[in-house]
Amino acid sequence: MALRKLVAGNWKMNGTRAALPELPEIEAAALNAQGRLDVAICPPFTLMSEAAAAAPLLAIGAQDCHHLESGAYTGGVSAAMIADLRARYVIVGHSERRTYQGETDADVRAKAEAAQAAGLIAILCVGETEEQRDAGRADLVVAGQLAGSVPPSGKAANLVIAYEPVWAIGTGRTPSVADVAAIHELIRAKLIELLGPEGTGVRILYGGSVKPENAGELMAVPDVDGALVGGASLTAAQFVPIIQATAAL
Protein backbone atom coordinates (compact mmCIF):
# COMPACT_ATOMS: atom_id res chain seq x y z
CA MET A 1 0.00 0.00 0.00
CA ALA A 2 1.44 3.35 -1.05
CA LEU A 3 1.31 5.82 1.82
CA ARG A 4 1.45 9.59 1.64
CA LYS A 5 5.11 10.47 2.06
CA LEU A 6 6.58 12.71 4.74
CA VAL A 7 9.83 14.66 4.44
CA ALA A 8 10.94 15.98 7.81
CA GLY A 9 14.00 18.10 8.52
CA ASN A 10 15.89 17.67 11.80
CA TRP A 11 18.02 20.74 12.45
CA LYS A 12 19.56 19.19 15.56
CA MET A 13 21.60 21.71 17.62
CA ASN A 14 21.98 24.08 14.67
CA GLY A 15 20.39 27.37 13.81
CA THR A 16 19.85 30.83 15.19
CA ARG A 17 17.44 33.52 14.06
CA ALA A 18 19.74 34.07 11.08
CA ALA A 19 18.48 30.72 9.70
CA LEU A 20 14.82 31.72 9.65
CA PRO A 21 14.92 33.30 6.15
CA GLU A 22 15.44 29.78 4.76
CA LEU A 23 11.94 28.79 5.81
CA PRO A 24 9.68 30.70 3.38
CA GLU A 25 11.30 28.98 0.39
CA ILE A 26 10.92 25.60 2.08
CA GLU A 27 7.31 26.46 2.87
CA ALA A 28 6.69 27.38 -0.78
CA ALA A 29 8.09 24.03 -1.93
CA ALA A 30 5.88 22.25 0.60
CA LEU A 31 2.82 24.10 -0.67
CA ASN A 32 3.71 23.28 -4.28
CA ALA A 33 3.85 19.61 -3.32
CA GLN A 34 0.65 19.78 -1.29
CA GLY A 35 -1.60 16.84 -1.99
CA ARG A 36 1.39 14.62 -2.77
CA LEU A 37 3.38 14.65 0.48
CA ASP A 38 3.79 16.28 3.87
CA VAL A 39 6.77 18.43 4.87
CA ALA A 40 7.93 19.39 8.36
CA ILE A 41 10.86 21.16 9.97
CA CYS A 42 12.08 20.35 13.49
CA PRO A 43 14.24 23.29 14.62
CA PRO A 44 15.77 23.73 18.07
CA PHE A 45 13.32 24.60 20.86
CA THR A 46 14.63 28.18 20.81
CA LEU A 47 13.40 28.69 17.24
CA MET A 48 10.13 26.80 17.19
CA SER A 49 7.84 29.75 17.85
CA GLU A 50 9.64 32.07 15.43
CA ALA A 51 9.85 29.32 12.80
CA ALA A 52 6.09 28.90 13.00
CA ALA A 53 5.68 32.65 12.51
CA ALA A 54 8.15 32.78 9.61
CA ALA A 55 6.42 29.92 7.79
CA PRO A 56 2.87 29.64 9.19
CA LEU A 57 1.77 27.04 6.62
CA LEU A 58 4.75 24.74 7.21
CA ALA A 59 4.40 21.96 9.79
CA ILE A 60 6.76 22.40 12.74
CA GLY A 61 8.05 19.76 15.11
CA ALA A 62 10.32 19.42 18.11
CA GLN A 63 13.41 17.26 18.50
CA ASP A 64 12.55 15.74 21.87
CA CYS A 65 10.09 15.91 24.73
CA HIS A 66 9.89 14.95 28.40
CA HIS A 67 7.75 11.95 29.25
CA LEU A 68 5.85 13.85 31.97
CA GLU A 69 3.40 16.70 31.42
CA SER A 70 4.85 19.05 34.03
CA GLY A 71 6.87 19.18 37.23
CA ALA A 72 10.22 20.01 38.80
CA TYR A 73 12.38 18.96 35.85
CA THR A 74 14.68 21.87 35.13
CA GLY A 75 15.42 22.15 31.43
CA GLY A 76 12.68 19.72 30.46
CA VAL A 77 10.09 20.50 27.80
CA SER A 78 6.85 18.55 27.87
CA ALA A 79 4.80 17.38 24.93
CA ALA A 80 1.96 19.60 26.12
CA MET A 81 4.27 22.63 25.90
CA ILE A 82 5.24 21.63 22.37
CA ALA A 83 1.62 21.20 21.36
CA ASP A 84 0.91 24.63 22.83
CA LEU A 85 3.21 26.06 20.15
CA ARG A 86 0.90 24.50 17.54
CA ALA A 87 3.55 21.99 16.56
CA ARG A 88 2.46 18.74 14.92
CA TYR A 89 5.44 16.44 15.37
CA VAL A 90 8.11 15.51 17.89
CA ILE A 91 11.15 13.30 17.29
CA VAL A 92 11.76 10.70 20.00
CA GLY A 93 14.52 8.14 20.42
CA HIS A 94 17.00 9.62 17.98
CA SER A 95 20.25 7.64 18.09
CA GLU A 96 22.12 10.69 19.33
CA ARG A 97 19.88 10.85 22.39
CA ARG A 98 20.04 7.10 22.88
CA THR A 99 23.84 7.37 22.77
CA TYR A 100 24.67 10.66 24.49
CA GLN A 101 21.73 10.88 26.93
CA GLY A 102 21.51 7.15 27.58
CA GLU A 103 17.85 6.88 26.59
CA THR A 104 16.46 3.34 26.75
CA ASP A 105 13.67 1.78 24.75
CA ALA A 106 11.42 2.26 27.79
CA ASP A 107 12.30 5.97 27.89
CA VAL A 108 11.50 6.32 24.20
CA ARG A 109 8.18 4.53 24.58
CA ALA A 110 7.19 6.83 27.46
CA LYS A 111 8.04 9.89 25.39
CA ALA A 112 6.08 8.58 22.41
CA GLU A 113 3.09 7.95 24.66
CA ALA A 114 3.36 11.47 26.08
CA ALA A 115 3.52 12.92 22.57
CA GLN A 116 0.46 11.01 21.46
CA ALA A 117 -1.46 12.01 24.61
CA ALA A 118 -0.73 15.65 23.77
CA GLY A 119 -2.08 15.25 20.24
CA LEU A 120 1.34 15.16 18.56
CA ILE A 121 2.69 12.73 15.99
CA ALA A 122 5.75 10.92 17.36
CA ILE A 123 8.59 10.34 14.89
CA LEU A 124 10.20 7.37 16.62
CA CYS A 125 13.76 6.58 15.56
CA VAL A 126 15.45 3.19 15.36
CA GLY A 127 18.71 2.01 13.81
CA GLU A 128 21.81 -0.08 14.24
CA THR A 129 25.48 0.87 14.68
CA GLU A 130 28.16 -0.15 12.20
CA GLU A 131 29.46 -2.73 14.66
CA GLN A 132 26.01 -4.26 14.99
CA ARG A 133 25.53 -4.37 11.22
CA ASP A 134 28.97 -5.92 10.64
CA ALA A 135 28.11 -8.57 13.22
CA GLY A 136 24.96 -9.46 11.28
CA ARG A 137 22.71 -8.18 14.06
CA ALA A 138 21.01 -5.23 12.30
CA ASP A 139 17.66 -7.04 12.01
CA LEU A 140 17.69 -8.14 15.64
CA VAL A 141 18.66 -4.69 16.91
CA VAL A 142 16.00 -2.84 14.93
CA ALA A 143 13.28 -5.36 15.74
CA GLY A 144 14.23 -5.17 19.41
CA GLN A 145 14.11 -1.38 19.45
CA LEU A 146 10.66 -1.46 17.87
CA ALA A 147 9.38 -4.04 20.36
CA GLY A 148 10.66 -1.96 23.27
CA SER A 149 9.87 1.52 21.99
CA VAL A 150 6.60 1.42 20.03
CA PRO A 151 3.63 2.13 22.33
CA PRO A 152 0.56 -0.09 22.00
CA SER A 153 -1.39 3.11 21.36
CA GLY A 154 0.53 3.63 18.11
CA LYS A 155 -1.63 4.31 15.09
CA ALA A 156 -1.12 5.61 11.57
CA ALA A 157 -2.45 8.97 12.78
CA ASN A 158 -0.03 9.43 15.68
CA LEU A 159 3.13 7.47 14.89
CA VAL A 160 5.90 7.59 12.31
CA ILE A 161 8.97 5.35 12.39
CA ALA A 162 12.32 6.68 11.18
CA TYR A 163 14.98 4.10 10.33
CA GLU A 164 18.40 5.71 10.66
CA PRO A 165 21.43 3.43 10.43
CA VAL A 166 23.66 5.11 13.00
CA TRP A 167 26.77 4.68 10.88
CA ALA A 168 25.19 6.60 7.99
CA ILE A 169 24.06 9.69 9.92
CA GLY A 170 26.10 12.69 8.80
CA THR A 171 28.83 10.53 7.27
CA GLY A 172 27.89 10.73 3.62
CA ARG A 173 27.55 6.94 3.56
CA THR A 174 24.27 5.22 2.81
CA PRO A 175 23.24 1.56 2.77
CA SER A 176 22.55 -0.05 -0.58
CA VAL A 177 19.03 0.22 -1.93
CA ALA A 178 18.65 -3.52 -1.29
CA ASP A 179 19.70 -3.10 2.36
CA VAL A 180 17.28 -0.22 2.86
CA ALA A 181 14.47 -2.25 1.29
CA ALA A 182 15.21 -5.25 3.50
CA ILE A 183 15.18 -3.27 6.76
CA HIS A 184 12.05 -1.34 5.83
CA GLU A 185 10.31 -4.62 4.97
CA LEU A 186 11.33 -5.97 8.38
CA ILE A 187 10.05 -2.82 10.11
CA ARG A 188 6.70 -3.09 8.33
CA ALA A 189 6.31 -6.71 9.37
CA LYS A 190 7.23 -5.87 12.97
CA LEU A 191 4.75 -2.98 13.07
CA ILE A 192 1.97 -5.29 11.90
CA GLU A 193 3.01 -7.81 14.55
CA LEU A 194 2.92 -5.12 17.26
CA LEU A 195 -0.06 -3.04 16.13
CA GLY A 196 -2.12 -5.35 13.95
CA PRO A 197 -3.73 -3.90 10.80
CA GLU A 198 -2.93 -0.38 12.05
CA GLY A 199 0.74 -1.17 11.38
CA THR A 200 0.13 -1.17 7.64
CA GLY A 201 -0.57 2.56 7.72
CA VAL A 202 2.32 3.77 9.90
CA ARG A 203 4.79 5.64 7.74
CA ILE A 204 8.42 4.49 7.77
CA LEU A 205 11.01 7.15 6.94
CA TYR A 206 14.61 6.60 5.90
CA GLY A 207 17.27 8.82 7.45
CA GLY A 208 21.04 8.86 7.15
CA SER A 209 22.89 11.13 4.71
CA VAL A 210 19.81 11.86 2.60
CA LYS A 211 20.72 14.51 0.05
CA PRO A 212 19.42 15.80 -3.29
CA GLU A 213 21.63 13.38 -5.22
CA ASN A 214 20.20 10.22 -3.66
CA ALA A 215 16.73 11.28 -2.52
CA GLY A 216 14.84 10.10 -5.59
CA GLU A 217 16.41 6.64 -5.53
CA LEU A 218 15.88 6.16 -1.80
CA MET A 219 12.30 7.46 -1.78
CA ALA A 220 11.36 5.00 -4.54
CA VAL A 221 12.27 1.98 -2.39
CA PRO A 222 9.22 -0.07 -1.28
CA ASP A 223 8.06 0.76 2.26
CA VAL A 224 10.13 3.96 2.30
CA ASP A 225 7.42 6.48 3.06
CA GLY A 226 9.61 9.56 3.22
CA ALA A 227 12.80 10.86 4.79
CA LEU A 228 14.15 12.26 8.03
CA VAL A 229 16.79 14.67 6.78
CA GLY A 230 19.59 16.08 8.90
CA GLY A 231 22.20 18.51 7.60
CA ALA A 232 20.60 18.89 4.17
CA SER A 233 17.48 20.36 5.79
CA LEU A 234 19.33 23.42 7.10
CA THR A 235 19.16 25.30 3.81
CA ALA A 236 16.45 25.66 1.19
CA ALA A 237 19.07 25.05 -1.50
CA GLN A 238 19.58 21.51 -0.20
CA PHE A 239 16.18 20.68 1.26
CA VAL A 240 13.91 21.89 -1.52
CA PRO A 241 15.37 19.49 -4.13
CA ILE A 242 14.73 16.59 -1.73
CA ILE A 243 11.11 17.70 -1.38
CA GLN A 244 10.81 18.00 -5.15
CA ALA A 245 12.40 14.61 -5.82
CA THR A 246 10.01 12.98 -3.38
CA ALA A 247 6.97 14.78 -4.79
CA ALA A 248 7.89 13.64 -8.30
CA LEU A 249 7.44 9.94 -7.46
Question: Which tens digit of pLDDT belongs to each residue from 200-213?
Answer: 999 999 998 899 99
Residue 167: pLDDT band with limits 50, 70, 90: confident
Residue boundaries of the structural domains of the chain: 61-204
Q: How far apart are CA 129 and CA 142, in angstroms?
A: 10
User: Which has the closest alpha carbon to 36: 6, 73, 59, 63?
Assistant: 6
Percent with pLDDT over 90 in the chain: 94
Q: How far apart are CA 44 and CA 98, in angstroms?
A: 18
pLDDT tens digits, 22-31: 999 999 999 9
The residue from 22, 27, 67, 94 that is catalytic is 94
- Looking at residue 35, its pLDDT comes to 84
**Active site annotation includes 94:** yes
Q: Is residue 14 over pLDDT 90?
A: yes
- Looking at residue 172, its pLDDT comes to 80
Q: How far apart are CA 96 and CA 63, in angstroms?
A: 11
Percent with pLDDT over 70 in the chain: 100
Of 32-36, 86-90, 119-123, where does mean pLDDT reach its minimum? Answer: 32-36
The residue from 27, 113, 128, 164 that is catalytic is 164
3-state SS, residue 90 = strand
- Looking at residue 164, its pLDDT comes to 95
User: Which has the closest alpha carbon to 112: 179, 73, 62?
Assistant: 62
- Looking at residue 147, its pLDDT comes to 98
What rounded mean pLDDT belongs to the chain?
96
Q: Is residue 1 over pLDDT 70?
A: no
**Active site annotation includes 66:** no
Spatial neighbors of 62 by CB under 8 A, at least 6 apart, are 42, 45, 48, 77, 82, 87, 89, 90, 91
Answering whether pTM is above 0.85, one says yes
pLDDT tens digits, 217-232: 999 999 999 999 999 9
Average pLDDT of the segment spanning 62-91: 98
Average pLDDT of the segment spanning 150-175: 92
Q: Is residue 160 over pLDDT 80?
A: yes
Q: Which CATH architecture has domain 61-204?
A: Alpha-Beta Barrel (3.20)
Residue with the bigger pLDDT between 34 and 93: it is 93
